Structure 1
Amino acid sequence: MGITSGIVLYAVIWWMTLLVVAPLKLKTQQDMGRVLRGTQSGSLEVHHLKPKLWITTGAATVLFVIIAGIILSGWITVEDLDWFNRMSPPVTAG
């Protein structure tokens, strides 16, 4: 795995982790009992974004270390993920 693919892998893991962490502990305007006129009752009032970004970064780093370790160790290779035999050499008629 090269540096560019490592950065891309970390970015994908980070964003996927953020999408899992972001909905946790949200408080909407309706939950707080203060719905502003002209807004939707489900609009966010308290989102705790900064702690969520730190949690996302920590979790993504741990997941990245585990996944990168598996990839770099060769425990799982591209050939292991070739379910349709696309990587096998072509069969020649003889």
Structure 2
Amino acid sequence: MNLTGAIVLFAVIWFIVFFIALQIRPRSQADAGEIVPGTPASAPAELRMKRKVVWTTMIAIVLWSVFASVILSGAVTLRDIDWFGRLGPEAPAEQ
């Protein structure tokens, strides 16, 4: 894995974790009981974006470390996940 691949892998993991984190404990203005005029009752009351970004980054670093170590160790290769044989026939095992 080169530097570009590592950055792309981290970005993908970060955004997936971030979109999941946005759905954890959302509190609407209707739940809080304080609806700001001109906004729908389902609008977020307290977004806490900084907290979610920090947690997302910490979780993404841990997950990226796990995925990067598996990729770099060679424990799982592209041939291992080629279920439909699109990479061609496997080379015969040498004895």
With the length of structure 2 as denominator, give the TM-score of the two structures. Answer: 0.88
Q: Unpaired segments of 5 or more residues in structure 2?
A: 90-95
For residue 56 of structure 2, what is the aligned residue in structure 1? 56
For residue 79 of structure 2, what is the aligned residue in structure 1? 79
For residue 70 of structure 1, what is the aligned residue in structure 2? 70
For residue 92 of structure 1, what is the aligned residue in structure 2? none
Contact between 1:25 and 1:47, CA under 8 Å: does it hold in 2?
no
| 1:70 CA displacement | 0.2
Structure in which a larger fraction of residues adopt strand: 1
Q: Could you give the per-residue CA deviations for residues 62-87 of structure 1, whole angstroms, max 9, x where no partner exists?
A: 00000000000000000111111011
With the length of structure 1 as denominator, give the TM-score of the two structures. Answer: 0.88
| 1:20 CA displacement | 1.0
Question: Aligned equivalents of 1:58 and 1:36: distance in 2?
Answer: 33
What percent identity do the matched residue pairs reach? 37
Which structure 2 residues correspond to residues 20-59 of structure 1 after superposition, within 5 A? 20-59=20-59
For residue 93 of structure 2, what is the aligned residue in structure 1? none
